[in-house]
């Protein structure tokens, strides 16, 4: 017991020393780099919610691509989702780094949001969803079925995704089916075109969009 505690104390003090140094450097950097604030208008709600989708993706363990989704009703956030394995399913690096296994076990951010709502007994009827890219046909299915009325996506993300996927036709086909299903079920698909200076991970690369 004492043996473990000793190790723990050494370990904790090492972390504190390491972090204190980094923290002070960061404070100094913040002090040195402050600028006068010129009051600006509060951020547009749609951009705000899209930023939240990018925030949600930071919870993802996917080593290749991270996606987030935010479900909003009457301009209040109901819940967020991100791509990952369902609750309790072991998301070990071995599984996450094996594409075949990963694609069989992973839930996309949009469907994860719908699933979370079902678990918590929250109605998603008439909700608006914000997610980085145009949902795949599987997620579009879930969103339509769950009563979503609007889907906002981020155009810079969509462009990067399409460029990085190149001619992977199965993905492009999937998106085309999504667009067609959204039209038929009268779900509005709306792009946010402005860059938001946020980071995302697509195909193993970090992009600032």
Q: Are strands 188-192 and 199-202 parallel, antiparallel or unpaired?
A: unpaired
Residues in the chain: 209
Q: Which of 69, 127, 136, 146 binds Zn ion (CB under 5 A)?
A: 136
**Which stretch in 10-18, 134-142, 143-151, 174-182 sits in contact with Zn ion by CB under 5 A?**
134-142
Report H helices in the chain. 2-32, 45-57, 93-96, 99-105, 109-120, 137-145, 155-165, 169-184
- How distant, in Å, are the alpha carbons of 40, 80, 194 from that of 44? 11, 19, 11
Q: List the interface residues with Zn ion, window 106-125 (CB under 5 A).
A: 108
CB of 138 to Zn ion, least distance (A): 5
CB of 173 to Zn ion, least distance (A): 13
**Which stretch in 11-19, 101-109, 117-125, 148-156 sits in contact with Zn ion by CB under 5 A?**
101-109
70 is a contact residue toward Zn ion (CB under 5 A): no
Closest CA to 149 of 186, 120, 119: 186
Structural tokens at position 67: 């996606």
CB of 153 to Zn ion, least distance (A): 12
Query: Does residue 110 have an active-site annotation?
Result: yes
Can you state the percent helix, strand and coil of the chain, rounding each to 5? 50, 20, 35
69 is a contact residue toward Zn ion (CB under 5 A): no
CB of 90 to Zn ion, least distance (A): 22
**Which stretch in 57-65, 92-100, 133-141, 186-194 sits in contact with Zn ion by CB under 5 A?**
133-141
């Amino acid at each position: 017991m004492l043996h473990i505690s000793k190790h723990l104390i050494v370990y904790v003090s090492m972390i504190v020393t390491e972090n204190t140094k980094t923290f002070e450097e960061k404070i100094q950097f913040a002090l040195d780099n402050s600028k006068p604030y010129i009051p600006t208008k509060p951020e547009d709600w749609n951009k705000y919610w899209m930023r939240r989708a990018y925030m949600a993706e930071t919870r993802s363990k996917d080593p290749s691509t991270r996606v987030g989704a935010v479900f909003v009703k009457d301009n209040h956030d109901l819940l967020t989702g991100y791509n990952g394995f369902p609750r309790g399913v072991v998301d070990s690096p071995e599984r996450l780094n094996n594409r075949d296994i990963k694609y069989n076990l992973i839930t996309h951010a949009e469907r994860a949001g719908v699933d979370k709502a079902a678990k918590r007994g929250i109605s998603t009827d008439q909700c608006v969803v914000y997610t980085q890219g145009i949902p795949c046909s599987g997620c579009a299915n879930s969103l339509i079925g769950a009563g979503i009325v609007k889907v906002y996506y981020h155009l810079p993300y969509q462009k990067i995704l399409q460029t990085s996927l190149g001619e992977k036709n199965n993905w492009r086909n999937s998106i085309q089916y999504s667009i067609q299903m959204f039209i038929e079920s009268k779900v509005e698909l709306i792009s946010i075109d402005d860059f938001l200076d946020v980071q995302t991970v697509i195909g193993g690369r970090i992009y600032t969009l």
